[in-house]
Amino acid sequence: MKEIYHPPVMLKEVLEFLNVKKGGVFVDATLGGGGHTEAILKASPDVKVIGIDRDEEAIERAIERLEPFGGRVSIYHAAFSQIDEVLEAEGVEEIDGVLFDLGVSHFHLRGDRGFTVWEEQPLDMRMDRRQKLTARDVVNELSEKKLAEIIFKYGEERFARKIAREIVRRRKEEPIETTLELAKIVEEVVPKKLWAGRKKHPAIKTFQAIRIYVNKEFEEIEEGIPKAANFLKPGGRLVVITFHSLEDGLVKRIMKNLEGFKVLTKKPVEPTEKEVKENPAARSARLRAAERVST
Protein backbone atom coordinates (compact mmCIF):
# COMPACT_ATOMS: atom_id res chain seq x y z
CA MET A 1 0.00 0.00 0.00
CA LYS A 2 1.50 3.33 -1.03
CA GLU A 3 1.63 5.97 1.68
CA ILE A 4 -0.48 8.86 0.44
CA TYR A 5 -2.12 11.62 2.42
CA HIS A 6 -5.53 12.90 1.38
CA PRO A 7 -5.87 16.54 2.47
CA PRO A 8 -9.48 17.07 3.62
CA VAL A 9 -11.15 19.68 1.39
CA MET A 10 -13.03 22.78 2.58
CA LEU A 11 -12.33 21.85 6.17
CA LYS A 12 -13.21 25.19 7.74
CA GLU A 13 -16.48 25.35 5.80
CA VAL A 14 -17.37 21.76 6.74
CA LEU A 15 -16.90 22.44 10.45
CA GLU A 16 -18.97 25.62 10.24
CA PHE A 17 -21.85 24.11 8.29
CA LEU A 18 -21.93 21.00 10.47
CA ASN A 19 -22.12 23.28 13.51
CA VAL A 20 -19.61 21.05 15.26
CA LYS A 21 -18.94 23.45 18.13
CA LYS A 22 -22.23 22.58 19.78
CA GLY A 23 -21.21 18.92 20.20
CA GLY A 24 -23.24 15.77 19.50
CA VAL A 25 -23.10 12.69 17.30
CA PHE A 26 -21.91 13.11 13.72
CA VAL A 27 -21.66 10.69 10.81
CA ASP A 28 -18.81 10.91 8.33
CA ALA A 29 -20.40 8.92 5.51
CA THR A 30 -17.20 8.96 3.41
CA LEU A 31 -14.50 8.49 6.01
CA GLY A 32 -11.60 8.07 3.53
CA GLY A 33 -8.32 8.71 5.30
CA GLY A 34 -10.21 10.23 8.23
CA GLY A 35 -9.12 13.84 7.67
CA HIS A 36 -12.53 15.42 8.17
CA THR A 37 -13.36 13.11 11.06
CA GLU A 38 -10.13 13.97 12.83
CA ALA A 39 -10.90 17.69 12.49
CA ILE A 40 -14.46 17.18 13.76
CA LEU A 41 -13.17 15.26 16.80
CA LYS A 42 -10.60 17.95 17.51
CA ALA A 43 -13.12 20.78 17.14
CA SER A 44 -15.01 19.81 20.29
CA PRO A 45 -14.36 17.32 23.10
CA ASP A 46 -18.13 16.63 23.28
CA VAL A 47 -18.33 15.24 19.78
CA LYS A 48 -18.60 11.60 18.74
CA VAL A 49 -18.16 10.46 15.11
CA ILE A 50 -19.41 7.37 13.32
CA GLY A 51 -17.32 6.87 10.17
CA ILE A 52 -18.37 4.83 7.15
CA ASP A 53 -16.38 3.83 4.07
CA ARG A 54 -16.77 1.01 1.58
CA ASP A 55 -13.05 0.88 0.86
CA GLU A 56 -11.15 -1.46 3.13
CA GLU A 57 -7.82 0.32 2.62
CA ALA A 58 -9.41 3.62 3.62
CA ILE A 59 -10.77 1.95 6.73
CA GLU A 60 -7.32 0.63 7.67
CA ARG A 61 -5.78 4.09 7.33
CA ALA A 62 -8.58 5.73 9.28
CA ILE A 63 -8.34 3.22 12.14
CA GLU A 64 -4.66 3.99 12.51
CA ARG A 65 -5.08 7.75 12.28
CA LEU A 66 -8.04 7.96 14.64
CA GLU A 67 -6.73 5.59 17.29
CA PRO A 68 -5.88 8.45 19.69
CA PHE A 69 -9.59 9.32 19.93
CA GLY A 70 -10.51 5.93 21.41
CA GLY A 71 -14.23 5.40 22.00
CA ARG A 72 -15.17 8.79 20.54
CA VAL A 73 -15.07 7.27 17.08
CA SER A 74 -16.66 4.14 15.58
CA ILE A 75 -15.68 2.91 12.14
CA TYR A 76 -17.73 0.78 9.73
CA HIS A 77 -16.77 -0.90 6.47
CA ALA A 78 -20.05 -0.37 4.62
CA ALA A 79 -21.69 1.61 1.84
CA PHE A 80 -23.35 4.81 3.02
CA SER A 81 -26.66 3.55 1.62
CA GLN A 82 -26.49 1.17 4.62
CA ILE A 83 -26.39 4.06 7.12
CA ASP A 84 -29.59 2.78 8.74
CA GLU A 85 -27.96 -0.58 9.50
CA VAL A 86 -24.81 1.13 10.79
CA LEU A 87 -26.76 3.38 13.14
CA GLU A 88 -28.84 0.46 14.35
CA ALA A 89 -25.65 -1.51 15.13
CA GLU A 90 -24.37 1.57 16.96
CA GLY A 91 -27.65 1.95 18.88
CA VAL A 92 -28.04 5.54 17.64
CA GLU A 93 -31.48 6.87 16.75
CA GLU A 94 -30.70 10.51 16.04
CA ILE A 95 -27.68 12.39 14.76
CA ASP A 96 -26.58 16.03 14.84
CA GLY A 97 -24.89 16.15 11.47
CA VAL A 98 -23.74 14.11 8.51
CA LEU A 99 -20.99 14.73 5.97
CA PHE A 100 -20.68 13.29 2.46
CA ASP A 101 -17.35 14.09 0.79
CA LEU A 102 -18.12 12.27 -2.43
CA GLY A 103 -15.97 10.71 -5.08
CA VAL A 104 -12.55 9.20 -5.14
CA SER A 105 -9.68 10.06 -2.87
CA HIS A 106 -6.01 10.70 -3.57
CA PHE A 107 -5.13 7.17 -2.67
CA HIS A 108 -7.63 5.86 -5.23
CA LEU A 109 -6.11 8.03 -7.93
CA ARG A 110 -2.54 7.34 -6.92
CA GLY A 111 -3.12 3.71 -5.96
CA ASP A 112 -3.08 0.66 -8.19
CA ARG A 113 -6.76 -0.03 -8.85
CA GLY A 114 -7.10 1.47 -12.30
CA PHE A 115 -8.69 4.82 -11.42
CA THR A 116 -6.01 6.75 -13.31
CA VAL A 117 -5.53 7.47 -17.00
CA TRP A 118 -1.84 8.20 -16.46
CA GLU A 119 -0.38 4.90 -15.28
CA GLU A 120 -0.49 1.32 -16.50
CA GLN A 121 -2.74 -0.63 -14.13
CA PRO A 122 -5.35 -3.39 -14.38
CA LEU A 123 -8.85 -2.07 -15.14
CA ASP A 124 -10.53 -2.51 -11.79
CA MET A 125 -12.03 0.74 -10.37
CA ARG A 126 -13.90 -0.96 -7.50
CA MET A 127 -14.02 1.07 -4.32
CA ASP A 128 -15.22 -2.00 -2.45
CA ARG A 129 -13.20 -5.03 -3.47
CA ARG A 130 -15.85 -7.37 -2.11
CA GLN A 131 -17.94 -6.38 -5.11
CA LYS A 132 -17.77 -8.58 -8.21
CA LEU A 133 -18.21 -6.14 -11.11
CA THR A 134 -14.98 -4.46 -12.27
CA ALA A 135 -14.18 -1.89 -14.97
CA ARG A 136 -12.67 -4.75 -16.98
CA ASP A 137 -16.05 -6.50 -17.05
CA VAL A 138 -17.80 -3.29 -18.11
CA VAL A 139 -15.35 -2.52 -20.92
CA ASN A 140 -15.21 -6.10 -22.24
CA GLU A 141 -18.72 -7.36 -21.73
CA LEU A 142 -21.35 -4.64 -22.09
CA SER A 143 -23.02 -4.02 -25.44
CA GLU A 144 -21.86 -1.12 -27.59
CA LYS A 145 -25.19 0.64 -26.97
CA LYS A 146 -24.94 0.31 -23.20
CA LEU A 147 -21.31 1.46 -23.18
CA ALA A 148 -22.18 4.52 -25.27
CA GLU A 149 -25.08 5.29 -22.93
CA ILE A 150 -22.86 5.07 -19.83
CA ILE A 151 -20.04 7.16 -21.30
CA PHE A 152 -22.50 9.82 -22.45
CA LYS A 153 -24.62 9.87 -19.28
CA TYR A 154 -21.93 9.70 -16.61
CA GLY A 155 -19.06 11.29 -18.55
CA GLU A 156 -20.95 13.91 -20.57
CA GLU A 157 -18.66 12.79 -23.39
CA ARG A 158 -19.86 13.90 -26.81
CA PHE A 159 -17.78 11.26 -28.56
CA ALA A 160 -19.40 8.51 -26.47
CA ARG A 161 -20.79 6.56 -29.43
CA LYS A 162 -17.54 6.60 -31.34
CA ILE A 163 -15.58 5.59 -28.23
CA ALA A 164 -17.99 2.71 -27.54
CA ARG A 165 -17.74 1.55 -31.18
CA GLU A 166 -13.94 1.57 -31.03
CA ILE A 167 -13.87 -0.26 -27.67
CA VAL A 168 -16.05 -3.01 -29.13
CA ARG A 169 -13.97 -3.25 -32.30
CA ARG A 170 -10.74 -3.52 -30.31
CA ARG A 171 -11.96 -6.02 -27.75
CA LYS A 172 -12.88 -8.41 -30.57
CA GLU A 173 -9.16 -8.58 -31.33
CA GLU A 174 -8.22 -9.15 -27.71
CA PRO A 175 -9.67 -8.22 -24.30
CA ILE A 176 -8.90 -4.72 -23.00
CA GLU A 177 -7.07 -5.31 -19.75
CA THR A 178 -5.37 -2.10 -18.64
CA THR A 179 -5.91 1.60 -18.04
CA LEU A 180 -3.46 2.67 -20.72
CA GLU A 181 -5.03 0.38 -23.33
CA LEU A 182 -8.39 2.04 -22.67
CA ALA A 183 -6.89 5.53 -22.46
CA LYS A 184 -5.17 5.02 -25.82
CA ILE A 185 -8.39 3.91 -27.53
CA VAL A 186 -10.11 7.11 -26.34
CA GLU A 187 -7.11 9.19 -27.43
CA GLU A 188 -7.43 7.79 -30.92
CA VAL A 189 -11.12 8.67 -31.13
CA VAL A 190 -11.23 12.19 -29.64
CA PRO A 191 -9.86 14.69 -32.19
CA LYS A 192 -6.35 15.68 -31.25
CA LYS A 193 -6.99 19.40 -31.65
CA LEU A 194 -9.36 19.21 -28.67
CA TRP A 195 -6.77 17.93 -26.23
CA ALA A 196 -3.21 18.08 -27.55
CA GLY A 197 -0.97 20.25 -25.41
CA ARG A 198 -3.52 20.46 -22.56
CA LYS A 199 -3.15 19.00 -19.12
CA LYS A 200 -6.50 17.22 -19.17
CA HIS A 201 -6.32 13.75 -20.68
CA PRO A 202 -9.06 13.05 -23.26
CA ALA A 203 -9.99 9.80 -21.50
CA ILE A 204 -10.80 11.40 -18.14
CA LYS A 205 -14.51 11.67 -18.94
CA THR A 206 -14.71 8.05 -20.07
CA PHE A 207 -12.88 6.89 -16.93
CA GLN A 208 -15.22 8.97 -14.74
CA ALA A 209 -18.24 7.41 -16.46
CA ILE A 210 -17.03 3.83 -16.04
CA ARG A 211 -16.07 4.47 -12.40
CA ILE A 212 -19.52 5.90 -11.62
CA TYR A 213 -21.16 2.87 -13.25
CA VAL A 214 -18.92 0.27 -11.57
CA ASN A 215 -19.48 1.76 -8.11
CA LYS A 216 -23.17 2.63 -8.62
CA GLU A 217 -22.23 6.08 -7.35
CA PHE A 218 -25.46 7.85 -8.30
CA GLU A 219 -27.69 5.09 -6.91
CA GLU A 220 -25.71 5.31 -3.65
CA ILE A 221 -26.24 9.09 -3.49
CA GLU A 222 -29.96 8.81 -4.31
CA GLU A 223 -30.44 6.26 -1.56
CA GLY A 224 -27.86 7.36 1.01
CA ILE A 225 -28.51 11.10 1.34
CA PRO A 226 -32.28 10.94 2.04
CA LYS A 227 -31.73 7.98 4.39
CA ALA A 228 -29.08 9.90 6.35
CA ALA A 229 -31.22 13.04 6.42
CA ASN A 230 -33.99 11.04 8.09
CA PHE A 231 -31.80 10.50 11.14
CA LEU A 232 -31.04 14.20 11.67
CA LYS A 233 -32.49 15.95 14.73
CA PRO A 234 -34.27 19.27 14.21
CA GLY A 235 -31.40 21.73 13.84
CA GLY A 236 -29.19 18.89 12.53
CA ARG A 237 -27.07 19.54 9.46
CA LEU A 238 -26.49 17.75 6.17
CA VAL A 239 -23.28 18.73 4.34
CA VAL A 240 -22.31 17.38 0.93
CA ILE A 241 -19.18 18.03 -1.13
CA THR A 242 -19.18 17.07 -4.80
CA PHE A 243 -16.48 17.13 -7.45
CA HIS A 244 -18.24 17.43 -10.79
CA SER A 245 -21.30 19.12 -12.20
CA LEU A 246 -23.36 15.96 -12.67
CA GLU A 247 -22.93 15.02 -9.01
CA ASP A 248 -23.60 18.58 -7.86
CA GLY A 249 -26.81 18.73 -9.93
CA LEU A 250 -28.01 15.48 -8.40
CA VAL A 251 -27.26 16.62 -4.83
CA LYS A 252 -28.96 19.98 -5.46
CA ARG A 253 -32.16 18.21 -6.58
CA ILE A 254 -32.10 15.72 -3.67
CA MET A 255 -31.63 18.51 -1.10
CA LYS A 256 -34.41 20.61 -2.60
CA ASN A 257 -36.81 17.67 -2.33
CA LEU A 258 -36.04 16.77 1.30
CA GLU A 259 -39.14 17.42 3.37
CA GLY A 260 -38.67 19.48 6.54
CA PHE A 261 -35.31 20.85 5.43
CA LYS A 262 -34.07 24.35 4.75
CA VAL A 263 -31.26 24.63 2.21
CA LEU A 264 -28.50 26.82 3.68
CA THR A 265 -26.51 27.30 0.49
CA LYS A 266 -28.42 29.07 -2.27
CA LYS A 267 -25.44 28.53 -4.51
CA PRO A 268 -22.80 25.88 -3.86
CA VAL A 269 -19.91 27.13 -1.75
CA GLU A 270 -16.53 26.97 -3.51
CA PRO A 271 -13.08 26.55 -1.98
CA THR A 272 -11.06 29.72 -1.43
CA GLU A 273 -8.30 30.67 -3.87
CA LYS A 274 -5.81 30.00 -1.11
CA GLU A 275 -7.04 26.44 -0.65
CA VAL A 276 -6.96 25.73 -4.41
CA LYS A 277 -3.41 27.05 -4.54
CA GLU A 278 -2.34 24.80 -1.70
CA ASN A 279 -4.36 21.80 -2.86
CA PRO A 280 -5.20 21.93 -6.60
CA ALA A 281 -7.34 18.78 -6.20
CA ALA A 282 -9.84 20.95 -4.29
CA ARG A 283 -10.51 23.22 -7.28
CA SER A 284 -13.70 21.48 -8.43
CA ALA A 285 -15.11 20.92 -4.91
CA ARG A 286 -18.60 22.38 -4.32
CA LEU A 287 -20.29 22.29 -0.93
CA ARG A 288 -24.04 22.30 -0.30
CA ALA A 289 -25.68 22.20 3.12
CA ALA A 290 -29.17 21.89 4.57
CA GLU A 291 -30.67 22.01 8.05
CA ARG A 292 -33.55 20.00 9.42
CA VAL A 293 -36.21 22.46 10.52
CA SER A 294 -39.03 20.07 11.42
CA THR A 295 -39.60 16.34 11.93
Ligand X SMILES: C[S@@+](CC[C@H](N)C(=O)[O-])C[C@H]1O[C@@H](n2cnc3c(N)ncnc32)[C@H](O)[C@@H]1O
| Residue list, annotated binding site for S-adenosyl-L-methionine | 34-36, 53, 80, 101, 108
- Whole-number Å distance between alpha carbons of 160 and 190: 9
Angle at 226 between CA 62 and CA 220, to 5 degrees: 55
Q: Judge contact between 231 and 83, C-beta under 8 A.
A: yes
Interface with ligand X by CB under 6 A: which range of 17-25, 26-34, 186-194, 256-264? 26-34
Rg of the chain's alpha carbons, rounded to an integer?
20
Residue from 157, 151, 129, 136 nearest 209 by CA: 151
Q: How far out from the chain centre does Cα 151 lie?
A: 18
> Under the criterion CB under 6 A, does residue 54 sit at the interface with ligand X?
yes
Interface with ligand X by CB under 6 A: which range of 99-107, 109-117, 178-186, 253-261? 99-107
Within residues 233-292, the interface with ligand X by CB under 6 A covers: none
Interface with ligand X by CB under 6 A: which range of 16-24, 84-92, 100-108, 148-156? 100-108
Interface with ligand X by CB under 6 A: which range of 28-36, 143-151, 169-177, 203-211? 28-36
Q: Which of 13, 17, 32, 47 is in the footprint of ligand X by CB under 6 A?
A: 32
> Under the criterion CB under 6 A, does residue 97 sit at the interface with ligand X?
no
> Under the criterion CB under 6 A, does residue 103 sit at the interface with ligand X?
yes
Q: Which of 49, 58, 86, 135 is in the footprint of ligand X by CB under 6 A?
A: 58
Interface with ligand X by CB under 6 A: which range of 32-40, 89-97, 178-186, 276-284? 32-40
- Whole-number Å distance between alpha carbons of 20 and 12: 11
> Under the criterion CB under 6 A, does residue 79 sit at the interface with ligand X?
yes
List the 286-292 sheet strands across, edge first: 73-77, 47-53, 24-28, 95-101, 232-242, 286-292, 261-263
SS3 73: strand
Q: Judge contact between 115 and 125, C-beta under 8 A.
A: yes
Q: Which of 24, 35, 111, 155 is in the footprint of ligand X by CB under 6 A?
A: 35
Question: Under rule CB under 6 A, how many of the chain's residues touch ligand X?
Answer: 20
Which residues define the annotated binding site? 34-36, 53, 80, 101, 108
Shortest reach from residue 224's CB to ligand X, in Å: 6
> Under the criterion CB under 6 A, does residue 36 sit at the interface with ligand X?
yes
> Under the criterion CB under 6 A, does residue 53 sit at the interface with ligand X?
yes
Within residues 207-236, the interface with ligand X by CB under 6 A covers: 220
State phi, psi for 200 to the nearest 5 degrees: -80, 125
Give helix 35-43 / helix 11-18 axis angle, nearest 10°. Answer: 50
Residue from 93, 101, 83 nearest 40 by CA: 101
Strand boundaries in the chain, DSSP class E: 24-28, 47-53, 73-77, 95-101, 232-242, 261-263, 286-292
Shortest reach from residue 34's CB to ligand X, in Å: 6
Shortest reach from residue 145's CB to ligand X, in Å: 27
Residue from 282, 295, 212 nearest 250 by CA: 212
Q: Point out which residues bind ligand X (CB under 6 A).
A: 6, 8, 30, 32-36, 52-55, 58, 79-80, 101, 103, 105, 127, 220
